[in-house]
Structure 1
């Protein structure tokens, strides 16, 4: 029997601190029924870090700043991986991705953080196990840790914990309109992207940690944009290096204005033009710098020409399983990646009502303006 569903949720500033959301289902014959969708209760340990959406919180446009990558300081270090002494390091693939056990990120000094920045730039994405990151204060996480790697970005549309707007929250519970809900009209939840590439200075070394994970599933996929570039023919590489791409945050802002993701737009959206191929300032490696979520068109090409090239690259990135890895989340895991040379996707293969909800925070330092 066909049905229609109407959600009846109030919209206070902080609306995820426990209780239920009620969905009213109306059959075509007029019969009504209700379903309650659970959210974390008031005794939830990390309730203070659940997303809030304040319609009155507004931010001015971002200003440019001078960024010096901390990884540069480790280039001339005779032992640039000495911070890994005593740790177990596993290569997830020969060229991309590592997993580390046996060191605490919270104990690294400035020299070790510089070595870490170089290591993440070289490996693309690094998974650190058994970390005490959650035991540290949010002030330490943001100021002592995140700001080491660049100016902290405040996301223009996502939910944030009260008093800590620099955290970008990743959240999905059992509510149909959860902040992390998926388009059920699509065959897959995967959307390969690099974060906020519409900014004039997109992020560099990025940190993600989870407060809670589902019993299984909810992994994060990563792809090497360096290796994606390297797989292309030299003549095509040379042509792509002449091109620039428009990256836009307009669609993301309009999506929020339509009442999705909490319905907030904290900063007016921007568009910026970046080279299609960029060079990493520390490793000097070239990487593709396009993603389906924010790249819109290639400057100077006809629509059909631009679409043909971008769609080819999107397919190449999405299907490049031999230069992808999958980060599996366990309690006390912290994942670092270099947003300049990787893309990633959430994997929505779990049912929050059965498997548990997914709740985490991303720390997103901005880096330099992309150049080739």
Structure 2
């Protein structure tokens, strides 16, 4: 079948219209879907209420191998399908007891890993009556638009990513003893090359960046702040208004994203999440 692709925003994002992920998925459509995803960075499938955790995990594999969820505790994953994570505004930190507000600032997922996930997929199971949009920023176009002198200064520099930066705008779930090995950190290029499109993107993470190669601490932070301000300008953004049953996949290699908590917190916002394993950065 030929895919019906509709742009979601001027900056990035596309919807594959009228596609049933249980009925219409095959080898040919999977290849075309991956092509559309690489070109548009964010991909949406509407009205996928028929998916359950097992079928959601199965469809995720068309984008690559599944990456296990970072948190191993049962609070954050579906018990019978542990590679499917649970994102809910009713979750609390099992150590501190504090409410967890996931994703409420610009970031890319799990960048402290040596091989960060190439993509993240969410399935909307419960949504508030209004609000709760997710913002996406096109870091590929943002890099392309950088002034030449700043591109040259960024060059091949790398930034250090850790589990939780000392200047993070928000807290992360507390790592327990059996999870602390996850906090080794990794160095990734500030201008990351996409292995499919071969285009560069700004690659940073305010939650996790702790240093920039070859720069004093404050100079490095200043560069990171300048790049973030540039990459998250309105002209590079798409704001996704969720509908029940939406499946969204975004490319962590070429985007930043942020959740919005402008909704009634007495209403439940519940998503299932699968992450797609990535490759070494360059």
| TM-score interval, smaller chain | 0.7 to 0.9
Does the 8 A contact of 2:143 with 2:231 survive in 1? no
SS at match of 1:165: strand
Which residue number corresponds to residue 143 of structure 2? 229
* 1:357 maps to which of 257, 268, 277: 268
Change (3 A) 1:246 1:331: same
Change (3 A) 1:178 1:257: closer
Does the 8 A contact of 1:153 with 1:365 survive in 2? yes
Give yes or no for the alignment of 1:109 onto 2:22: no
Provide structure 2 residue ranges, at least 5 long, that are not aligned to the other structure: none
Matches within 5 A, 1:42-121: 83-84=2-3, 87=4, 89-106=5-22, 107-121=24-38
Which residue number corresponds to residue 369 of structure 1? 280
Give yes or no for the alignment of 1:332 onto 2:236: no
C-alpha RMSD of the superposition? 2.5
Does the 8 A contact of 1:257 with 1:264 survive in 2? no
* 1:138 maps to which of 53, 63, 66: 53
Deviations, residues 178-223 of structure 1 (Å, cap 9, x unaligned)? 75338xxxxxx84000000111111113211111001111111000
Does the 8 A contact of 1:174 with 1:351 survive in 2? no
Runs of 4+ in 1 over 6 A off after TM superposition: none
State the alpha-carbon separation in 2 of the partners of residues 165 and 179 from structure 1: 22
Select the structure of larger CA radius of gyration. 1
Matches within 5 A, 1:233-244: 233-244=147-158
Matches within 5 A, 1:250-269: 250=164, 255-257=172-174, 266=179, 268=181, 269=183
> Normalising to structure 2: TM-score of the pair?
0.86
Which residue number corresponds to residue 225 of structure 2? 311
Does the 8 A contact of 1:96 with 1:325 survive in 2? yes
SS at match of 1:112: helix
Deviations, residues 26-70 of structure 1 (Å, cap 9, x unaligned)? xxxxxxxxxxxxxxxxxxxxxxxxxxxxxxxxxxxxxxxxxxxxx
Which residue number corresponds to residue 347 of structure 1? 260
Which residue number corresponds to residue 290 of structure 1? 204
Provide structure 1 residue ranges, at least 5 long, that are not aligned to the other structure: 1-81, 183-188
Q: How many residues align?
A: 270
* 1:168 maps to which of 53, 74, 85: 85
Deviations, residues 80-116 of structure 1 (Å, cap 9, x unaligned)? xx641xx3x3323334112332111232112211211
Tell me the CA shift for residue 175 of structure 1.
Answer: 8.0
Does the 8 A contact of 1:195 with 1:339 survive in 2? yes
Comparing both chains, which one has the higher relative contact order based on Cα–Cα distances under 8 Å and sequence gaps of 6 or more?
Answer: 2
State the alpha-carbon separation in 2 of the partners of residues 203 and 167 from structure 1: 14
Tell me the CA shift for residue 323 of structure 1.
Answer: 0.9
State the alpha-carbon separation in 1 of the partners of residues 45 and 198 from structure 2: 25
Does the 8 A contact of 1:160 with 1:169 survive in 2? yes
State the alpha-carbon separation in 1 of the partners of residues 207 and 119 from structure 2: 20
Tell me the CA shift for residue 170 of structure 1.
Answer: 1.2
